[in-house]
Chains A and B, each alone.
Chain A
Amino acid sequence: MEKNLLEIKDLTLNFYTYEGVVRALDRVNLEVKEGETLGLVGETGCGKSVTGFSILDLVPPPGYIEGGKVIFERKDKRYNLLDQKDSFLRTIRGKDISMIFQDPRSALNPVYTIGDQITEVLLLHRRVEFCKQVLSRKDLTRYERSLYMKMLKSPSSLTVRILSAIPILNRFKHKIEALARAEAIKMFKTMRIPDPERFLRSYPHELSGGMAQRAVIGIALACGPKILLADEPTTNLDVTIQLQILNLIKELKKDFHSSIIYVTHDMGVIAEVCDRVAVMYAGNVVEVADVFELFKNPLHPYTKALLESIPRAGHSFKSIEGTVPSLINPPGGCRFHDRCPYAMEVCIRVKPTLVELKEGHFVHCHLYSKGSE
């Protein structure tokens, strides 16, 4: 039984807007094991992206996390990420948990080259390692040596910061930056990018969508994170480029032994990439299962309807009646009851609890909790 690398327990998130309180997430429970790819699937407004953001506490106001825990295991200690201070979270973001965004061109800063952006991440998190490497060289001047020792001990000391800002005196940083660049080139070589040096020197607007997304993936994986949050990374890309990126992600997962939380609305991508799938609807997780099991034997009515509505030749596609409810006044009980063809009287009143029907296959539905009685 693999351990859980990340556990989300009873996460509740609200957005306080002019029209009212939007109950975006309602007691969401998820688990991510080591080395697996968890797919988070659902439609617009179901809360899958926000779940990803709240793991890293990146939800902007007026969104506030009302309750729940996000437990992350790091160096054999378990932390609740929602309790931690921002300075602690900053050591986790980018290093232990990284994020890839949907639109690569807006995720990259347009006024810095790719090289600058990836060395920024590398220097931020692997500074100690690089400093030690630099200090082990023999050809340092005394000035440089003393500065690097200072950087090693207290990276944010005033001396280091001031000297880094002065144009000529900050030449001492070139050694560590060269190391970071070499590391970045190595990273891009494993991603099989042709001519990595030129790639490092280009700006985001000079790159095509696929290349920019590869840059974002490179930056995310630069420090070897344990968990990679992929928020619809291939939605904006062409289908052939999507295939390239998906294959790349699969390969890198093998090399880096990371777990991936893959947020998307495309069931085809889920079937390609994921090991386990969690289906979300209107802020709730409605079904969690192994990917083969989910497609073969979907239990929750929403999952069934979702699979049936995928346009496929030969099948007449059925659409789901009604629309996604507004989360300001969400329907009581089970949030899917007004669109569910199997809705019962109890569904309107009581929110369904988790039922584990088979090993690893969880459903939130009264159909199954009643049936098991």
Chain B
Amino acid sequence: MSKKSATSGKSRWQEFKASRAPMWKEIKFTLNRLKKSPLSILGIAIIVFFIILALIAPLIAPPVPGYDEYMMPKEKPYGSTPKPPSPEHLFGTTPYQYDIFYGCIWGTRTAFRIGVFVVFFGLLFGLIIGGISGYYGGIIDEVMMRGTDIIFAFPGLLLSMALVVSLPSQITIIDYGSIRWIVTLTSLDKVLISFILIGWPNYARVIRGEVLRVKNEVYVEAAKAIGCSDFRIMIKHILPNSIYPIIIISSLDIGGIVLAAAALGFLGIGSPEGYSDWGRLISLSRDWILPSNADPLGYWYLFIIPGIFIFMFVLGWNLLGDAFRDILDPTMRRR
């Protein structure tokens, strides 16, 4: 017998449905808006495609047992001449015979890892610092914003390269007698951490701006009049109303981060050689882009195929970010 709520006479299930009703209405409205914008649908389709690709990676590109699945399999003989696409190697092989097909498929997983990891933690730090800075103002605001200014002053890619080089490979968190907790950072991890350290100021800035705007709204003052603590106001009132620009920026950023990681991978910083990472794949083709006068684009598959993957991935996230901006644009919503 479903319990009936004492006051409204509905069953618990009905109550639950009713409480989610406005959310469904919002979602329906959002979907309707999306339908009107074909580019947004394209963006969503691309991202969904990549997600599926990442999920079924073990099926279509089975890893070699005994080896780390992210390392691309090498084919004997280890000749240095890349081979064009063939039935065994769908996208061909790189110099030193890494399978490009394997690398691209598993590279999708790497790309998601990079993008989501960096944006998530960058967002976390940015939210905390920007939120506190915007809400309290005064000297806290000044200090934090000057900190972000300092980080902004450096050219991003160069600073990230410097950080990657200087971050230690092993961080000892606890070394007390028998308790030892040492974190080992692979070079890919170092790249990710350096991106986070460089990327959070952007989010902090944007959040701070939004918090400053929302802080002056009447409903925040009304909440104070009820006796809400600062923390509660920040979490329940300010954050939900200021999150929209952040959603847009972070979705655009995932694409940007992947691109930057690919750039670093091309320069040889980041994942080790043989790791299935799109940038790394292209770096392997460095010497073969224009091999000889006789055959200028003969080895096109070396860089064009991973390049297409990068391009589509970033394009998908950009379109998704645009889609978010369109549907979340307050002037278009009938608030």
Contacts and interface: CB of A to CB of B under 8 A. Distances in A.
Interface of A: 17-19
Contacts of B334: 17-19
Interface size class of B (residues with CB under 8 A): under 10
B169 interface: no
Nearest to A17: B334
Contacts of B29: 18
B137 to A, nearest CB: 24
A18 B334 CA distance: 9
A18 B36 CA distance: 12
Nearest to B333: A18
Contacts of A19: 334
Q: Is the interface of A mostly helix, strand, loop or mixed?
A: loop
Interface in B12-50: 29, 32
A116 B334 CA distance: 35
Interface of B: 29, 32, 334
A324 to B, nearest CB: 18
Contacts of A18: 29, 32, 334
The 5 closest A-B pairs by CB, nearest first: A18-B334, A17-B334, A18-B29, A18-B32, A19-B334
A140 B134 CA distance: 60
A17 B29 CA distance: 12
A17 B32 CA distance: 12
Contacts of B32: 18
5 contacts: A17-B334, A18-B29, A18-B32, A18-B334, A19-B334
A19 B333 CA distance: 12
B316 to A, nearest CB: 27
B88 to A, nearest CB: 54
Contacts of A17: 334
A17 B334 CA distance: 9
A18 B29 CA distance: 8
Nearest to B29: A18
A181 B32 CA distance: 52
B113 to A, nearest CB: 39
Nearest to A19: B334
A67 B32 CA distance: 30
A18 B30 CA distance: 11
A19 B32 CA distance: 12
B331 to A, nearest CB: 12
B140 to A, nearest CB: 30
Nearest to B33: A18
B330 to A, nearest CB: 15
A35 B29 CA distance: 49
B280 to A, nearest CB: 48
B310 to A, nearest CB: 38
B333 to A, nearest CB: 10
A42 to B, nearest CB: 22
A19 B334 CA distance: 10
A117 B334 CA distance: 32
A18 B333 CA distance: 10
